[in-house]
């Protein structure tokens, strides 16, 4: 332990994670907090880190208010519809009313935006998406953050949040370690903004063995955004609302541009429009939600999953027609070369030329996040002018711990933010964090060296476990006294997959399965005390695993609590197969007691603010 040097940093605002939300937060914190010390800590390298480093071709959230294309209310209706009613409309509206200004800044900063040659407007891919050349997206927003921050720390993984010892339930900073030097870093801060991305690899992926890592959501998204606040006792919401994606098989190439721009469509192996076949059965489960336009994403997945289970697979995307047009053919290929090169490689290796062969689609393993077409994450305060009392406690995007803020995938209840909305939410959180400090809410914070040293001992324990345990290795990597991060990860994925509604059970679970899953997760977490790391990279893997395990526990508790199937196609509660608006038209909120490790669950009303306003206008 003593061989790991400790570095201390004191700052006003600490941003954890330098992805889309983190760069937005760092940029905006400087705008409002001119004299404040702003530090951003990133697990990878901010120039290329985060989910957008997977590559993208469109900004998926842009209203186009200057041209009267969409209004924030429209976006709230859209997200609400897609999430089967379950969103925080105050958060969604707040993001939507600010997102255009974010996109206009990206344009000014030099992001190559595609333009509609006839109108001069941004080129629309769909109602909400505008097309960009995405290669330089992350370096451009990273530059804005680098110019704004006092210091950016790359290659430091934050493992724990620090709590103030002078006032209950107030943040005091965070600790972590540098994956290259092995040094320990203590960041004492007046406000912390967690922007550490979503969670992949908590459910067993379809691609295992040599293909492991080929997931849809970024494989490096390890759920720190959830585990950090959960461990500190912050409330979480909608963690059951995991997402399953319909994507091109094996490469997870996105289908959005194909549907929207190339106007391709899907069919079963017999060339039939299978979605229609499942209309009556779906109506039985969810009632009038199946008649909504556009059809909620989970319900389209539902038809896919049912059709494959009934023997109608494989499901294909009909590309042969669109690809006869040379322009559309170019767009189709470019879409992957700019975004998911792996899909083009898979097709090449499998002799699939979409001009002559309709490629197969698949449904992915589930992922947990708060910024894409789903809304798992932290329970945060909304903006003062919009939020009902249950949703407002002083500072926009502040969690239920004073001085702890969130943005992007971290924040629950506000789906369909995507890259631009996450950056925007980072800006909103940072503005509020500056105000929190200016209002003197962070005065007198005490974080003792003992608290930091206790965390230091915990952080490096996997190295100690290995150093001792390696003496007992019986063969290869097998030791009776430690488990490796990869062994622990595969055990976690198996539990989540089999008991919590992964691909093995065709997304099916029930109360008994979930209770058993929770037992197994508890024992896994006990065993993770014995995870061993042979170097600093494996130490990162060990902590990523611990964060994934805690996130998984929270997901399982939420899934057990909601006794209905709200999102067929994302997961099924076999013991409560129907959507139940009478009892479950509400948001779920959890809190893990940091002292006992036990979760408590509650229902919180879901307020339909946009419609309410309209109703008032009408009356």
Helix or strand holding residue 462 (H, E): helix 449-469
Position 377 contacts ligand FAD (CB under 6 A): no
Closest distance between ligand FAD and the C-beta of residue 439, in Å? 26
Q: Which CB sits closer to ligand FAD, 50 or 517?
A: 50
The kind and range of the H/E element at 157 are strand 156-163
What element of type H or E holds 554?
A: helix 536-561
Q: Provide the token pair at 404.
A: 């702890």
Tokens found for residue 226: 């959830």
b/e 86-106 (16+ beta carbons within 10 angstroms → b): bbbbbbbbbbbbbbbebbebb
How many residues at the interface with ligand FAD, by CB under 6 A?
A: 42
Q: Does 414 sit near ligand FAD (CB under 6 A)?
A: no
- Mutual orientation of helices 418-438 and 20-32 as an angle, nearest 10°? 40
**Residue 42 in the binding site for ligand FAD (CB under 6 A):** yes
Minimum CB distance to ligand FAD, residue 388 (Å)? 25
Closest CA to 138 of 271, 277, 22: 22
The number of beta carbons lying within 10 Å of the beta carbon of residue 130 is: 24
State the residue for tokens 């932290």: 378
Is position 564 an interface residue for ligand FAD (rule: CB under 6 A)? no
d(CA 290, CA 568): 11
Token digits for 49? Answer: 């880190």
Rg (CA), the chain: 23
CA distance 121 to 69: 10
Candidate segments 282-290, 419-427, 550-558, 581-589, binder of ligand FAD by CB under 6 A: 419-427
- Residue 510 binds to ligand FAD (criterion: CB under 6 A): no
Q: What's the min distance (Å) between Cβ of 610 and ligand FAD?
A: 22
Task: For residue 190, give the nearest of 33, 19, 424 by alpha carbon.
Answer: 33
Nearer to ligand FAD, 50 or 485 (CB): 50
> Which window, 30-38, 74-82, 217-225, 591-599, contacts ligand FAD (CB under 6 A)?
217-225
Site string for ligand FAD, 431-450 (x = CB under 6 A): --------------------
For residues 260 and 586, which CB has a smaller minimum distance to ligand FAD in the complex? 260
Q: Is 365 in the site for ligand FAD (CB under 6 A)?
A: no
Q: Under the phi-then-psi rule, with left for phi > 0, alpha for psi from -120 to 50, and beta for the rest, what region is 327?
A: alpha
Residue 409 binding ligand FAD, by CB under 6 A: yes
Q: Does residue 58 belong to the site contacting ligand FAD (CB under 6 A)?
A: yes
- Could you tell me the smallest distance in angstroms from the CB atom of residue 255 to ligand FAD? 11
Q: Residue 25 — φ and ψ, nearest 5°?
A: -65, -40
- Comparison of 78 and 418: residue with beta carbon closer to ligand FAD: 418
In whole angstroms, give the CA distance from residue 133 to residue 230. 37
Told to check if 374 binds ligand FAD by CB under 6 A, we report: no
Q: Rounded to the nearest whole angstrom, what is the least distance from the CB of residue 356 to ligand FAD in the complex?
A: 27
Question: Is residue 366 part of the contact set for ligand FAD (CB under 6 A)?
Answer: no
Q: In the set 12, 13, 15, 22, which binds ligand FAD (CB under 6 A)?
A: 22
Part of the chain binding ligand FAD (CB under 6 A), chosen from 41-49, 77-85, 352-360, 583-591: 41-49
d(CA 25, CA 17): 10
Q: Which of 11, 15, 17, 403 binds ligand FAD (CB under 6 A)?
A: 17
Q: Could you say which residues in the range 220-259 bind ligand FAD, by CB under 6 A?
A: 220-222, 224
Buried b (16+ CB within 10 A) or exposed e, 228-258: bbbbbbbbbbbbbbbbbbbbbbbbbbbbbbb
**Binding residue for ligand FAD (CB under 6 A) from 216, 391, 455, 466?**
216
* Burial (Cβ within 10 Å: 0-12, 13-18, ≥19) of residue 289: buried
Residue with CB nearest ligand FAD?
19
Q: Which stretch binds ligand FAD (CB under 6 A): 46-54, 303-311, 322-330, 460-468?
A: 46-54
- Judged by CB under 6 A, the residue of 33, 92, 173, 197 near ligand FAD is 197
43 touches ligand FAD by CB under 6 A: yes
Q: Does 396 bind ligand FAD (CB under 6 A)?
A: no
- Site for ligand FAD contains 91 (CB under 6 A): no
If one asks whether residue 41 binds ligand FAD (CB under 6 A), the answer comes out as yes
Instruction: Give helix 20-32 / helix 137-148 axis angle, nearest 10°.
Output: 30
Indicate whether 551 belongs to the interface with ligand FAD (CB under 6 A): no
Q: What is the rounded distance in angstroms from the CA atom of residue 392 to the CA atom of residue 389? A: 5
472: three-class secondary structure by DSSP: helix
The CA-atom distances, in angstroms, between 406 and each of 192, 377, 558 are 8, 9, 20
**Residues 179 and 536: beta-carbon distance below 8 Å:** yes
Q: How far is the CB of 532 from ligand FAD (least distance, A)?
A: 20
Q: Which of 49, 319, 374, 590 binds ligand FAD (CB under 6 A)?
A: 49
d(CA 315, CA 268): 5
Task: Work out which of 372, 427, 491, 591 binds ligand FAD, going by CB under 6 A.
Answer: 372
> With binding defined as CB under 6 A, does residue 26 bind ligand FAD?
no
Q: Is 391 in the site for ligand FAD (CB under 6 A)?
A: no
Answer yes or no: are the C-beta atoms of 284 and 337 closer than 8 Å.
no
Would you say 101 or 512 has its CB closer to ligand FAD?
A: 101
- Interaction site with ligand FAD (CB under 6 A): 16-22, 41-44, 49-52, 54, 56-60, 157-158, 176, 195-197, 216-218, 220-222, 224, 371-372, 408-409, 418-420, 422
């Amino acid at each position: 332990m003593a061989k790991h040097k400790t570095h201390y940093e004191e700052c006003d605002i600490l941003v954890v994670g330098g992805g889309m939300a983190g760069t937005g937060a760092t940029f905006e914190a400087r705008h409002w907090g001119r004299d404040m010390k702003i530090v951003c800590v990133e697990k990878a390298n901010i120039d290329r880190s985060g989910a957008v480093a997977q590559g993208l071709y469109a900004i998926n959230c842009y209203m186009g208010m200057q041209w009267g294309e969409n209004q924030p209310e429209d976006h709230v209706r859209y997200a609400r519809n897609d999430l089967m009613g379950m969103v925080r409309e105050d958060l969604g509206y707040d993001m939507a009313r600010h997102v255009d200004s974010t996109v206009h800044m990206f344009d000014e900063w030099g992001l190559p935006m595609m333009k509609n040659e006839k109108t001069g407007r941004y080129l629309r891919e769909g109602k909400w998406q505008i097309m960009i050349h995405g290669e330089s997206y992350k370096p451009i927003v990273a530059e804005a953050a680098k110019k704004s921050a006092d210091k950016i720390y790359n290659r430091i993984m934050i493992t724990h949040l620090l709590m103030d010892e002078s006032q209950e339930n107030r943040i005091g900073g965070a600790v972590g370690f540098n994956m290259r030097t092995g040094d320990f870093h203590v960041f004492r801060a007046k406000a912390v903004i967690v922007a550490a991305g979503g969670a992949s690899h908590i459910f067993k992926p379809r691609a295992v063995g040599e293909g492991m890592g080929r997931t849809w959501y970024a494989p490096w998204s390890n759920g720190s955004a959830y585990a950090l606040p959960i461990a500190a006792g912050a409330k979480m919401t909608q963690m059951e609302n995991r997402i399953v994606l319909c994507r091109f098989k094996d490469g997870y190439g996105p289908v959005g541009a194909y549907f929207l721009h190339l106007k391709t469509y899907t069919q079963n192996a017999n060339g039939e429009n299978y979605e229609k076949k499942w209309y009556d059965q779906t109506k039985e489960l969810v009632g009038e939600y199946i008649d909504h336009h556009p059809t909620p994403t989970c319900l389209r997945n539902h038809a896919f999953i049912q059709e494959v289970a009934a023997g109608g697979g494989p499901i294909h995307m009909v590309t042969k027609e669109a690809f006869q047009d040379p322009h559309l053919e170019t767009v189709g290929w470019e879409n992957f070369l700019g975004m998911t090169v792996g899909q083009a490689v898979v097709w090449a290796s499998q002799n699939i030329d979409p001009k002559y062969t309709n490629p197969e689609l698949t449904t992915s393993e589930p992922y947990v996040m708060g910024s894409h077409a789903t809304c798992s994450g932290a329970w945060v305060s909304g903006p003062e002018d919009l939020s009902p009392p249950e949703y407002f406690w002083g500072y926009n995007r502040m969690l239920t711990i004073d001085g702890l803020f969130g943005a992007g995938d971290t924040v629950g209840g506000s789906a369909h933010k995507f890259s631009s909305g996450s950056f925007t939410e980072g800006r909103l959180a940072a503005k509020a964090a500056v105000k929190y400090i200016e209002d003197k809410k962070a005065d007198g914070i005490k974080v003792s060296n003992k608290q930091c040293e206790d965390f230091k001992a915990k952080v490096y324990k996997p190295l100690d476990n290995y150093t001792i345990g390696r003496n007992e290795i019986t063969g290869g990597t097998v030791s009776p006294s430690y488990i490796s991060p990869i062994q622990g990860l595969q055990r976690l994925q198996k539990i989540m997959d089999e008991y919590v509604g992964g691909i093995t059970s065709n997304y099916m679970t029930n109360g008994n399965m979930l209770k058993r899953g929770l037992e197994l997760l508890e024992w896994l977490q006990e065993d993770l005390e014995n995870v061993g790391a042979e170097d600093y990279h494996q130490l990162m893997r060990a902590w990523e695993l611990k964060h994934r395990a805690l996130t998984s526990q929270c997901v399982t508790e939420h899934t057990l609590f909601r006794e209905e199937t709200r999102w067929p196609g994302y997961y099924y509660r076999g013991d409560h197969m129907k959507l139940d608006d009478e009892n479950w038209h509400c948001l779920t909120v959890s809190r893990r007691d940091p002292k006992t490790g036990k979760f408590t669950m509650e229902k919180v009303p879901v307020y339909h603010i946009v419609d309410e306003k309209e109703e008032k206008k009408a009356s």
